[in-house]
Structure 1
Amino acid sequence: IKVGGWFELFFVNVLGCPFNTGEIIYIILLVAIVIWAIYESYNNKNQKRENISFLLSVAMLGVPFYGFGISAFIIGVIVLAALWFVLKWKRGKELLVSSRIKHTALLCMLMLMIGYSSYALIVIRSSANPPMDQNSPEDIFTLGSYLSRDQYGDSPLLFGQAYTSQVQFDRDGEYCKPRMKQGAPIYQRKEKASADEKDSYFIVRYKTDYIYAQNMVFPRMWDAAHASAYESWMGGVDGTQVPYDRCGEPITVKMPTQMENIRFFLSYQCNFMYWRYFMWNFAGRQNDIQGNGELEHGNWISGIPFFDNWRLGDQSKLPDDLKDNKGHNVFYCLPLLLGLIGLFWQAYRGQRGIRQFWVVFFLFFMTGLAIVIYLNQTPMQPRERDYAYAGSFYAFAIWCGIGVAAIIDLLKRLNINGTAVSAIVSILCLLVPIQMASQTWDDHDRSGRYTCRDFGQNYLMSMQDKGNPIIFTNGDNDTFPLWYNQEVEGARTDARVCNLSYLQTDWYIDQMCRQAYNSPSVPITWPRLDYCSGTNEYVEVVPELKQQILDFYKTNPKEAKATLGDNPFEVKNVLKHWVRDGKDDMHVIPTDTLYLTIDKEAVRKSGMMMASDSIPDQMIISLKGKNALYKGDLMMLEMISQCNWTRPVYVAITVGQENYMNLGDNFIQEGLANRITPFTTNAPGMKNFDTERVYTNLMTRFKFGGLDKKGIYLDETVMRMCYTHRRLFAQLALNLIQEGKKDKAAKALAYAEKVIPAYNVPMNYLSGGIDIAKAYALLGNKAKAKEAINSVFKNAHQYMVWYNSLSGSRFMQSQQDCMMHLYVMNSCIDIAHMIDNKWAESLMKQFNADAATYQSKGGRLMGEE
């Protein structure tokens, strides 16, 4: 990619050729030179041509060019010169590097080229501008960014900062600015001013990194954003106090010691994030709930009770929902034992055996622990990462297979041999994978389950049918099922899915500005130069300027209106005059309160639920608590202002509050999506829940992916979405009851029970069980209310029994969970009093017993928490 980029810059920027000319010439030369070098090394007729072609192949593949710019070129020349002397070096009369070695090396490099050529598909696909085009890698520079995963950032590997390290500062007069290290340039295609202008690339920005004052070797605890997670995992970090002058302010920095750093590497990155996954596959798995170090979630187990209880607490006291989890698989360590037998047998089977062993070992290591070192993962990962090490598990499975031969060989050495013995051993060893398949079948069987497709479609169906709506999503699980439904199922192709995570990038804004399926482009009026990479990435909110602007309007009203408009804090005016144009070269937002003038007629025609009888003149958007807005926030404001209520704008309910500024005050829920409205919906007398639309969506438009099929497998991620849907039913029922529509509420609850049955989706606190019970109680259906409360209370009680069975630090670490489950039990009792006081008192006795046990072990009392 690097060498190809040099060719591209030379042919396009220097010689004035069209885009991709240099890339095409580079590929042709690369293929020709490598084939020539292979031909020369194979024939072994001319040593000089052989060495030259070999050097050119290495150079064209970019192997010696480390770094970027002229320094990379100089390093490459030095490496190639050194390689030239090595190629000519003789040991006696024989060359140190023979033709055969060069030929083998070239074939290896050719293999890498063939593998790399598959990425041509990425560029070809991107050039067609499909609706989903991540990173838009249409030239060699954007492909390089795509392949190096620039959007995910970097982590230090061999040397760098710790999570407590302070950035170095340089004094610039009265001010201090952080010291930055300039990295490689980032090239983009230049926007043409006219059709006649030649193609060219320009440097849009340079990669930059902070320079830290405190650094350490092999930093494993490095990310300041995960400081509390590091401390929590380690049970506190003592560290060493390092004095530091932070721009005239003397402070002390607590740097973790190298021993603590290594302990985190071994305990979390190696043990928890690799060996735990390894043991899932060859010893057994506790359940499929993501673990973050707690004893009841996602650990490896053997299936041997005394051993598992010693490690993880009494497993018989786990709640039913964990004991019955389909991800609970026990292999009794038999695959592990078989693999270890094969590993040692191969390693100690003479010279041939040890050679074969190292081949398998390096496959095992490089696809396992080597990836652990490279990823340098932080605690609290958003999902389990076992898929990253699948190659390593395949390698160990080779040793499992060799283990069968090892057992047969061992019996032969004991003079126990023959066809019958080999057959018996093979059959007995076959019981190991049979046991594994019998245990794991139920948590790998997806037959009859269409939840991902249907739940994704439910997001789309939550939106209004007319007006080409836009829905903001965030993250993979919110977005990919929606894309699938539009691309494959053809569902709601009139709607536009807009991912807020990607909206920070110019390539994604480009895609939003194009039509997709039956959805017109989103209304972004900015020219590309105002949102291209490196421009308006981060715009400060400076409310101190607000008064100065108001004073300017008082003293010079005509000039003020001419330059800043009638309302200087109107969203469109702020985005144009202060963000894009940069008044007095200040690219800032000069207020913490923005306004949007409301087209009342457009609102009346919009189809949205009116939160009040009157429509306000302005929508107020508060930026309080915001130090700055990022590019995605600015694009969101631009779209809302340009849509002018003629195009519905939604935010998925699973988008976190931190991702949509303070717009939550203007949400009206219509299903799995909140509609952005001009009303302040949380004010007294207002409503933020459209019962009629939610009722229609849930009862007639939503699908539930076969949840009524008994025994269907629901993993943790799917289960969370099942909980979300049931909570929506409960929310709908309570709102309908509040509006006096009890018949509809009863129908909604009955339908919820049918499509999200308790035999597949447990009725507990997380799944809205308390609100379901409360709705039934308000409807007078005491039997159903009691059934729901019993289920929720029993689940919380079982967790209390489990936590109370723990001791010492294990118990102390579970206090937050205990508090939550005691709160759930108490909430159940409150609703039980609405149904049957005597029954409520029996629940209270159980609550008191659990609370007393909890307190006797040193648990905190339930106070304001």
Structure 2
Amino acid sequence: MKKYKLINTISGWVVFVVAAIVYLLTIEPTASFWDCGEFISSAYKLEVGHPPGAPIFMLLGNLFTQFTNDPGQVAKMVNSMSALLSAFTILFLFWTITHLTRKLVMGEKNDAFSLGQTIAVIGSGLVGALVYTFSDTFWFSAVEGEVYAFSSMLTALVFWLILKWEENAEKPDSDKWIVLIAYIMGLSIGVHLLNLLCIPAIVMVYYYKKNENPTWKGGLFSLFLSFGLILILMYGIIPGFTKVGGWFELFFVNTLGLSYNSGVAVYLILLVASIVWALFESISDKGDLKRARIAFLLSIGLSGILFIGGSIWLWLVLIATAIYFVFSRNKLNIKFLNLSMSSLLVILIGFSAYAIIPIRSSANTPLDLNSPEDVFSLGSYLNREQYGQTPIIYGTTYASQIVRDNQGRAEISKEKKTYSRVLKTTEGQKDRYMESKIPTYKYSNTMLFPRMHTYPSEPGYSNHIQGYEIWGGVTDRSKKPTLFDNLKFLFNYQINFMYWRYFMWNFSGRQNDIQGDGGITKGNWITGIKFIDGPILGLGPQDNIAPEVADNKGHNKYYLLPFLLGVIGIIYQLNMKQKGRQSFSIVFLLFFMTGLAIVLYLNQTPYEPRERDYAYAGSFYAYAIWVGIGVAGISRYLRNYIKNTTLSATLVSAACLLVPLQMAGQNWDDHDRSGRTLARDTGMNYLSSVEPEAILFTNGDNDTYPLWYAQETEGFRTDVRVTNLSFLQTEWYVDQMLRQAYESTPLPIKWDREKYWGDAASAAFVVTKNEIQNVLKQNNIPSISYGQYYDVKAYRDSIPLKEIMENLRTGQYKPANPFNTGDTQIIPSNRLYLNVDTTTTDWAAFNSRPADKMLLNLGEKSALYRQEMMIMEMLANINDDNWKRPIYYATTVDRNLYMNLQNSNFSLTGLAYQIVPGIPQSGGVNTEKAYDNLMNKFRWGGLEENPDIYLDETSRRMISTFRLYFNQLIEALIKEGKNDKAIAALDKATTVMPGKAVAYGNDGIMFARAYYRLGETEKA
């Protein structure tokens, strides 16, 4: 046994080293696209990222950033952390596979291992661990600064720890493993909640070990208990901590008149004291079981476990159940209470890492999303309330509409109380929390188990409906789907397309790295076997397709080998009598809970912004266990033909090791991000497109996070104020934009804080004179009587923007009209204008012709929201200051947020449109600035040094964007007669972004035409 343990330990660390080397060689040297730039920045400076935050990731990431003094190397350190954590995942996977396989191969005996058995077990571990090492999804997460690598490691760790407990369960100190698992669970909350899904598998390991003759009733009870533990953590402790703390805070601040956070401080003291009391009563010689039970009950109450949901009746039921359970169960002994309280304590210790979120938020860090500075805002932050709720068991469908009464008012089903700090208007004003209510509206066409859901107000509404028509067979969007329709969509899209497709990417093969849309040429799974891929999967021949698809580096073929090994592993487990079936049920629970259970919980709508395979990495981890066990299964079968067990195990292990080697060879080129700096360079290119002290509006993830990374981490162009328009709709973000950030001065917004906070500034209706008069005419109201129905002086054909903003700043601008506009403010015209001082404005700097008026045509907009009113406020104030502060839109911002300025007031400067008060020249391209930026300031993601670096679809899309704006510059230069510069720009574009790196499409045709027009026929 000792010799086996030594071999097992050494082999595990060998696999760790292999995985670590692979991942460290292929990490991205800077930030990646999507959330990585934000996570790296939040780790580097301990800033507050998007809800629900990841404080443990931040703290460990910050530790890794201490290994460099160069801000340019910070991202590499955080990415290296992901690589090493991923290598530890592989280490724990290896030991998990060998533990489970050893029990199948050798039984419960702990001695007399034969060499053949040892080779079979170690070979199983090597194959399973290496298959997962080189799998598509896990490798992707292992080389970037995101939370999923960390989350995977914690999942692997806790599952391995329960197996360590199983080995040592008979020892008197075995409970230490349970307490350690609880602590890791508490820590994992500060990384990602996916880790909690291991609980059912962990509980079943415990059940099987404690019961030599398990029954289906006992197993079912244990399963329900495990689901209860998940509910306790997800819906009890996590939200309950801030809920109960909030009650204390309200009492001490609003009732007793004490300062902010005094109630939370008292709450924390009482919570810790109650747990310590319970522990004391359970371990002290002077302890008493009755007092221990009281302390136990008090502790679970203060921790929030008894206050799941928002119903008082449910709370009373839970409290009564807890009291009955605690005081009527004889089995509730001192040992149980001690273990429970110890576990609760370490969970809360791990969870306490979240204290860093309000602490850092109170410091007003430049990156401070949602500003969770008190217990109430922290609760909203932890509960991800800004993202809304997705129906799971019962809720709305795509046909649901808000129910309205006879007056047209939305009917409210319930209201949730929220609390925020009072806006102080005088010095010495006492701390206090204001109560407000968030309504939940009644909806029609609700149903059980709604899988097809969306709202007309959602940005992707039309795409969702199209997806429901394709995958759900919807023919009438006004009718509520049937249960059968929902199940059809569940299996066709949510399971088959959004889970099984990802699963087979990892264990069969992947067609390419193009995001799938249901077509036969994008992002499907393949086998590499022609008669399967063509006729059976319906993908057609894979060798007669477009070069950009056929030559895609994401085209990977595993010939179903990993998948088949996993199937063999499952069959082998099930054939090994009771112990094998128990082992199978444990792995299956891990597989299901981290896979299909997530599918049911997420309830995803069609056409996600990106592929979501990373969410199911835990499920693929579980299947890799079966892949490893499959090696032992084949070895056992081969013993029927080769009596020498050592020879059979060696042959099988050696042959099966070719499977991960095949995967490594196939996947290396599309997982090697070394040398690629495109995400960072894209952020820098946006910032390089604007003048000093500029305001730059952004909108989405990939035109915001790379910019944040460039500024917050590498300190690049911190004079620029990056303003995300999605966040500008919120009060907390306006607060932040009105603070100095590095060299960037606050946004030019003159609204008093109490005026832009609350509903008064959330929106304003646009009501025009023509709309009013048309309604009055339809009702046969004579024009002479119009003044009785609306404020004739207020509603005009066009109004100065400055006047509108002065009125809106009051928070009470509601000129009379015949419509039911309630308490919402009014903009009484859709044509607003600025009077521009033509004598003091520097027109040459704008590359535009002078104009004494700048028109804001709101067109058909029926309302403007807070971010649009803030844009107008800034334009009005910048105009008053004679346009000294430059203001821009990123070229990728949604056109709906352009305020119709793109038609007459946009001037392209690279990756940004400058808002100019005059009439732009050169077709809306500032050729001087755009040429200088694109030719001299922009960076190209490493393509200049190595055009063969791997560019994923997001990166290729960004290269196409660069080419598009190069083409606009070239066309403008040709129009100005600057042919030499146009040729130089063409040469630059084709050199730094060659067709070898990203295949030419329409952009190549545009470049060829430009070369031809310029007489460069050979280059064309």
- TM range, normalised to the smaller chain? 0.7 to 0.9
**Match status 1:520 vs 2:745:** yes
Amino acid at match of 2:507: F
Post-superposition shift, 1:740?
1.1
- The worse-fitting range, judged by mean Cα deviation, of 253-262 and 504-513 is 253-262
Match of 1:690 among 926, 930, 952: 926
**Match status 1:119 vs 2:320:** no
Give the Cα–Cα distance (whole angstroms) in 1 for the partners of residues 383 and 1007 of structure 2.
49
Give the Cα–Cα distance (whole angstroms) in 2 for the partners of residues 738 and 536 of structure 1.
45
Give the Cα–Cα distance (whole angstroms) in 2 for the partners of residues 148 and 761 of structure 1.
41
Change (3 A) 1:656 1:201: same
Unaligned segments of structure 2, at least 5 residues: 1-241, 774-782, 816-822
Unaligned segments of structure 1, at least 5 residues: 242-251, 786-865
Match of 1:221 among 452, 467, 479: 452
**Match status 1:655 vs 2:655:** no
Change (3 A) 1:180 1:741: same
- What's the secondary structure of 2:703's corresponding residue? helix
- The worse-fitting range, judged by mean Cα deviation, of 3-12 and 77-86 is 77-86
Residue 407 of structure 1 aligns with which residue? Answer: 634
Do 1:231 and 1:237's aligned partners in 2 also have CA atoms closer than 8 Å?
A: no
Residue 53 of structure 1 aligns with which residue? Answer: 295
Change (3 A) 1:436 1:511: same
Give the Cα–Cα distance (whole angstroms) in 2 for the partners of residues 529 and 359 of structure 1.
56
Residue 479 of structure 2 aligns with which residue? Answer: 254
Amino acid at match of 1:8: E
- The worse-fitting range, judged by mean Cα deviation, of 188-197 and 101-110 is 101-110
Post-superposition shift, 1:686?
7.0
Post-superposition shift, 1:361?
2.4
Post-superposition shift, 1:690?
1.1
- What's the secondary structure of 2:377's corresponding residue? helix
Post-superposition shift, 1:620?
0.9
Residue 359 of structure 1 aligns with which residue? Answer: 586
Give the Cα–Cα distance (whole angstroms) in 2 for the partners of residues 201 and 485 of structure 1.
37
Match of 1:158 among 389, 393, 410: 393
Post-superposition shift, 1:734?
1.7
Residue 664 of structure 1 aligns with which residue? Answer: 902
Amino acid at match of 1:183: E
Residue 679 of structure 1 aligns with which residue? Answer: 918
Give the Cα–Cα distance (whole angstroms) in 2 for the partners of residues 425 and 695 of structure 1.
62
Give the Cα–Cα distance (whole angstroms) in 1 for the partners of residues 596 and 399 of structure 2.
26
Match runs of 1:290-329 below 5 Å: 290-310=515-535, 311=537, 312-329=539-556
Residue deviations 1:61-112, cap 9 Å, x none?
21221333xx43x53233112221123335xxxx254444444444443443
Give the Cα–Cα distance (whole angstroms) in 1 for the partners of residues 924 and 969 of structure 2.
12
Match runs of 1:108-147 below 5 Å: 108-147=343-382
**Match status 1:3 vs 2:271:** no
Change (3 A) 1:229 1:313: farther
Residue deviations 1:322-357, cap 9 Å, x none?
111111111112111222222343344344444443
Change (3 A) 1:629 1:65: same
Amino acid at match of 1:577: N
Give the Cα–Cα distance (whole angstroms) in 1 for the partners of residues 437 and 585 of structure 2.
42
Change (3 A) 1:431 1:692: same
- What's the secondary structure of 1:607's corresponding residue? helix
Do 2:297 and 2:326's aligned partners in 1 also have CA atoms closer than 8 Å?
A: no
- What's the secondary structure of 1:188's corresponding residue? strand
Give the Cα–Cα distance (whole angstroms) in 1 for the partners of residues 560 and 280 of structure 2.
52
Amino acid at match of 1:654: T
- The worse-fitting range, judged by mean Cα deviation, of 685-694 and 648-657 is 685-694
Residue 32 of structure 1 aligns with which residue? Answer: 273
TM value normalised by structure 2: 0.70
Residue 719 of structure 2 aligns with which residue? Answer: 494
Give the Cα–Cα distance (whole angstroms) in 2 for the partners of residues 168 and 491 of structure 1.
51
Change (3 A) 1:715 1:219: same
Residue deviations 1:463-497, cap 9 Å, x none?
123xx100000111001111111112221111110
Residue 264 of structure 2 aligns with which residue? Answer: 23
Tell me the percent identity.
Answer: 46
Match of 2:1013 among 778, 782, 789: 778
**Match status 1:743 vs 2:980:** yes
Match of 2:415 among 173, 183, 189: 183
Give the Cα–Cα distance (whole angstroms) in 1 for the partners of residues 395 and 772 of structure 2.
44
Post-superposition shift, 1:583?
3.6
Change (3 A) 1:190 1:80: same
Match of 2:704 among 479, 483, 487: 479
Give the Cα–Cα distance (whole angstroms) in 1 for the partners of residues 832 and 676 of structure 2.
46
Residue deviations 1:543-581, cap 9 Å, x none?
138989xx99x99xxx999xx899982223213324623
Match runs of 1:414-453 below 5 Å: 416-453=643-680
Residue 542 of structure 1 aligns with which residue? Answer: 767
- The worse-fitting range, judged by mean Cα deviation, of 212-221 and 414-423 is 414-423
Residue 839 of structure 1 aligns with which residue? Answer: none
- The worse-fitting range, judged by mean Cα deviation, of 597-606 and 392-401 is 597-606
Post-superposition shift, 1:622?
0.7
Do 1:335 and 1:400's aligned partners in 2 also have CA atoms closer than 8 Å?
A: yes
Do 1:86 and 1:96's aligned partners in 2 also have CA atoms closer than 8 Å?
A: no
**Match status 1:372 vs 2:599:** yes
- What's the secondary structure of 2:447's corresponding residue? strand
Change (3 A) 1:638 1:267: same
- What's the secondary structure of 1:144's corresponding residue? helix
Do 1:363 and 1:395's aligned partners in 2 also have CA atoms closer than 8 Å?
A: yes
Give the Cα–Cα distance (whole angstroms) in 2 for the partners of residues 419 and 43 of structure 1.
55
Residue deviations 1:28-57, cap 9 Å, x none?
322332333344445695331222122112
Do 2:590 and 2:622's aligned partners in 1 also have CA atoms closer than 8 Å?
A: yes
- What's the secondary structure of 1:497's corresponding residue? strand
Residue 1001 of structure 2 aligns with which residue? Answer: 764
Larger RCO (CA within 8 A; separation ≥ 6): 2
Residue 835 of structure 1 aligns with which residue? Answer: none
Amino acid at match of 1:717: T
Post-superposition shift, 1:136?
1.2
- What's the secondary structure of 1:129's corresponding residue? coil
Residue 304 of structure 2 aligns with which residue? Answer: 62
Residue 574 of structure 1 aligns with which residue? Answer: 804
Amino acid at match of 1:84: I
**Cα-Cα RMSD:** 2.8
Match runs of 1:572-721 below 5 Å: 572-578=802-808, 580-583=811-814, 587-604=825-842, 607-610=845-848, 612=849, 614-616=850-852, 618-644=853-879, 645-665=883-903, 666-681=905-920, 687-708=923-944, 709-721=946-958
- What's the secondary structure of 2:845's corresponding residue? coil
- What's the secondary structure of 2:832's corresponding residue? strand
Residue 822 of structure 1 aligns with which residue? Answer: none
Give the Cα–Cα distance (whole angstroms) in 2 for the partners of residues 82 and 233 of structure 1.
43
Give the Cα–Cα distance (whole angstroms) in 1 for the partners of residues 289 and 924 of structure 2.
81
Give the Cα–Cα distance (whole angstroms) in 2 for the partners of residues 636 and 474 of structure 1.
13
Post-superposition shift, 1:267?
0.9
Post-superposition shift, 1:304?
1.0
